[in-house]
């Protein structure tokens, strides 16, 4: 076997192999009137709202341009006086464990965000005490803002209920954790009370592993 040829092959490089390029697909996109060329940058930007928010440290930020764009993130909604089923505090405690597992990656190439559903009560100061009480480390930002902006954000991110009465109850929106690798447009979600190491593994499963040889990704057989 020509080892040199194969050693140079990675997941993406292999796509250029002659054998594959003879397959159909990837023809030039014909010009069609009236439709914009799909631009990844525009699609990424349009996916999120760029609403102004305030961090638990009092810093003013824009949701998409300052927090999400180009990053690998975890995101959830909560409110500090949440008692129903204790999902918020249990979820926060759970994410503290996730933060420990991810270790130094958090704040460097992984960012965690918790957005309050109750901006009236959850001022930056309250969020700061809440974060401190749970032992939250840097790289995990709690966010508040104008009620209207947060409501728009909540809807945009799918934290909504078909029943309008229940939709008004913030406790109904605190059980899901979203995670994503924004530049690769990879987005998924799981229950926030999944085991912390399982949550960390969900991220690992999503991350690209080009050039990996002869090993299964998930591998739970």
Partner 1 sequence: MAPRSGTTGSAKDKKRISRYMQEIRDIAKAGLSRRELFRMGLVAGGAGLAALQGVRGFKPYWAHADNSLQFRSPRNTPFVDPLPIPPVMQPVTLNPSPTKGPNPVRSAVTGFPEAGRPDHQRWEQFLPVTMYESVEKAVQHDFYPDIDGVPPSTVWTFVEPSTGSVGPLRIKARYGEPVLHRVHNALPTDNGGFGINKTSTHLHNGHNASESDGGPLHFYEAGQFKDYHWPNVRAGFSKNIPESSWNGRTVQGDVLETMSFLWFHDHMHDFTAQNTYKGLVSLYTLFSDDINLDTDDETIGLRLPSGEYDIPMVIADKVFDPGTGQLFFDLFNLDGMLGDKDTVNGVIQPYLEVKRRKYRFRLLVGGPSRVYEFFLSNGQSFLQISTDGNLLPRPLSRRSMRLQVAERVDVIVDFSKTSIGEKIYLQNRLEQNDGRAPTGKIIAPTDLVEFRVVGDARDDSRVPAALLDLPNRNVPIAKKRSWKFDRSGGAWSVNGQFFDPDVFSAVIRQNNAEIWSFESAGGWVHPGHPHMEEFQILDRDGKPPRVEEVARKDMLGVGDSVFGTDNSSNARIFIQFRDWLGNYPMHCHNTVHEDHGMMILFNVVA
Question: How many Å apart are CA 145 and CA 175, to the nearest integer?
Answer: 21
| Closer residue to partner 1 in complex, CB, 59/205 | 205
Q: At 115, phi and psi to the nearest 5?
A: -105, 130
The piece of 57-65, 112-120, 144-152, 191-199 that touches partner 1 (CB under 8 A) is: 191-199
- The count of chain residues that interact with partner 1, using the rule CB under 8 A, is 97
Scanning residues 99 to 158, which ones bind partner 1 (CB under 8 A)? 129, 133-135, 155-158
Question: How many Å apart are CA 61 and CA 68, to the nearest integer?
Answer: 11
Question: How many Å apart are CA 92 and CA 118, to the nearest integer?
Answer: 16
218 binds partner 1 (CB under 8 A): yes
For partner 1, the binding residue among 127, 143, 192, 200 (CB under 8 A) is 192
CB 65 to partner 1: min, Å: 19
78 binds partner 1 (CB under 8 A): no
7 binds partner 1 (CB under 8 A): no
Question: How many Å apart are CA 159 and CA 70, to the nearest integer?
Answer: 22
Beta strands 60-62 and 52-55: pairing type?
antiparallel
């Amino acid at each position: 076997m020509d080892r040199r040829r194969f050693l140079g092959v990675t997941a993406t490089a292999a796509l250029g192999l002659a054998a594959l390029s003879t397959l159909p697909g990837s023809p030039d996109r014909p010009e069609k009137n009236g439709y914009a060329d799909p631009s990844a940058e525009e699609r990424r930007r349009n996916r999120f709202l760029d609403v102004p928010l305030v961090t638990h440290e009092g810093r003013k930020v824009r949701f998409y341009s300052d927090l999400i764009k180009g990053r690998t993130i975890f995101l959830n909604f909560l409110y500090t006086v949440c008692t129903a089923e204790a999902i918020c505090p249990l979820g926060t405690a759970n994410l503290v464990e996730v933060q420990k597992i991810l270790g130094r990656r958090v704040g460097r190439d992984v960012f965690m965000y918790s957005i309050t559903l109750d901006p009236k009560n959850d001022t930056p100061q309250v969020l700061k005490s809440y974060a401190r009480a749970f032992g939250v480390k840097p790289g995990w930002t709690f966010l508040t803002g104008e009620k209207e902006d947060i409501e728009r954000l909540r809807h945009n991110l799918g934290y909504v209920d078909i029943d309008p009465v229940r939709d008004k109850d913030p406790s109904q929106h605190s059980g899901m954790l979203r995670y994503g690798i924004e530049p690769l447009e990879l987005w998924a979600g799981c229950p926030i009370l999944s085991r912390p190491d399982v949550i960390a593994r969900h991220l690992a499963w999503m991350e690209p592993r080009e050039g990996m040889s002869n090993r299964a990704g998930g591998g739970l057989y």
